[in-house]
Each structure stands twice: as structure tokens, then as C-alpha cells.
A and B are shown apart, each in its own frame.
Chain A
Amino acid sequence: GIQVEQSPPDLILQEGANSTLRCNFSDSVNNLQWFHQNPWGQLINLFYIPSGTKQNGRLSATTVATERYSLLYISSSQTTDSGVYFCAVISGGADGLTFGKGTHLIIQP
């Protein structure tokens, strides 16, 4: 099946800093989503972005499908941005999302 690799695995930043999270995948995809898992375990949809660029406030994402990677940008980080960020994809006729292992982000005040 498709492989999804996220980097870095852990990231510690000061409040106000910017960050870039990367997701590499091993095959073409029909679906790519970015999620934020908060400390209570809820998976919050950030972006549905199989290709192109989208922005939502301080967050933006870019997927370059031909080169098989996606980037999540967080600007002016806040402590509430802390948590685990997951990239997940569906490739071909697969039944559901395949998740990466996530990036654990800690924003310090």
C-alpha cells in the first residue's frame, strides 16, 4: 500500500514563530487531508487538498501532486496550535485514508 512519511516527528517552537510541516507519499493520491489532533483526541479537519494551495487564516497548505508531497504552513504560532498534525491520503481504489505518523508540535509561551 501507499506509504506516508511526515517530518519532522517533533517540533518545539516559541509563540509567534512560523513552521512548515512536510508530508511525502509514495504514489499518486485522490484525496489528501491535513488534521490537527487536539489534547482531547479530537481530529479537526484543516484542509482537504489533493492538489494546489489553500489558506485558512494563519494556516495554509500546498500539495504538489506530481512530486508527491504536501506542506502545511503555520504562521504566528499560538499555544493553542499545540498538538499532533496528521497528513492522510487515499490512493487509487483504497477504502480509506492512510495516515502518516504525525508531527507533534509544542508551542511554548
Chain B
Amino acid sequence: SQTIHQWPATLVQPVGSPLSLECTVEGTSNPNLYWYRQAAGRGLQLLFYSVGIGQISSEVPQNLSASRPQDRQFILSSKKLLLSDSGFYLCAWSGQGDTPLHFGNGTRLTVT
């Protein structure tokens, strides 16, 4: 069966520091991969979407970037964190076509 791993679970970083969050999927090949962010008390916003290695679509302009160095690996990065980057970050995967999305357990990021 397919599983999705996301780490770390929580992270506290100072303003101006770099960020790297990693997500990996097991048990499937060529998944669609997603990064979402949830601000406190609000809904989820799609940040990045990838249909294949090296193919990244960005939904909103921001201080973050994403990369997909391997088929089942998706990385969310920042060179310099802002206070406004605080939030709950969730990685998700789906198969091809009209198939459901499955989410990881998320990373709670606090920028101080």
C-alpha cells in the first residue's frame, strides 16, 4: 500500500534562517505531488504542484520554493524565513487522472 512520510513534525526557526521540509511517497510511481499551507484557524492553500521530476508549478507568489529531485521526493525550501511563513505545511500525493489526494501528517513551522 502507499504511504507518505513528512518530516519534521514540528520546527521552530528564527527569522532569516533557511528552511528545508521533505516529503517522500512509497508504494507508487510517478505520483502527482503537492505542498499546501494552513495558516492558524484557516483553510488550506495550495503552494506548489508537481507532475514529474523537475516539473514544479507555483500557485502563489511567495518566499518559498519547491523541488522534486526524485520521482517520489518533494522538498519545500526557503533561503530566508519570514514571520509570515509560520503555519502548518502539508504534503500530499495523488495518482494520475481524477483520483483522490492523500495527505501526510504535516509540519508545524513557527518562525520567531
Q: Which residues of A contact B (CB under 8 A)?
A: 30-31, 33, 35, 40-43, 45, 48, 50, 86, 88, 90, 95-102
Contact = CB atoms under 8 A, between A and B. Distances in A.
A56 B44 CA distance: 25
B88 A30 contact: no
B43 A31 contact: no
Interface centre among A31, A35, A41, A86 (most CB of B within 10 A): A41
Given A41-B108, A95-B57, A48 B44 contact: no
Interface residues of B, number: 23
A83 to B, nearest CB: 13
Given A41-B108, A96-B59, A48 B34 contact: no
Contact of A95 (B49, B99, B102, B108): B49
A107 to B, nearest CB: 19
A94 B100 CA distance: 14
A7 to B, nearest CB: 14
Given A41-B88, A41-B106, A96-B59, A31 B44 contact: no
A102 B45 CA distance: 13
Nearest to B97: A30
B49 A45 contact: no
A53 to B, nearest CB: 17
A86 B57 contact: no
Contacts of B99: 31, 48
Contacts of B57: 95
A1 to B, nearest CB: 10
Contacts of B98: 30-31, 50, 90
A40 to B, nearest CB: 8
Contacts of B101: 31, 33, 88, 96-97
Contacts of B43: 86, 99-102
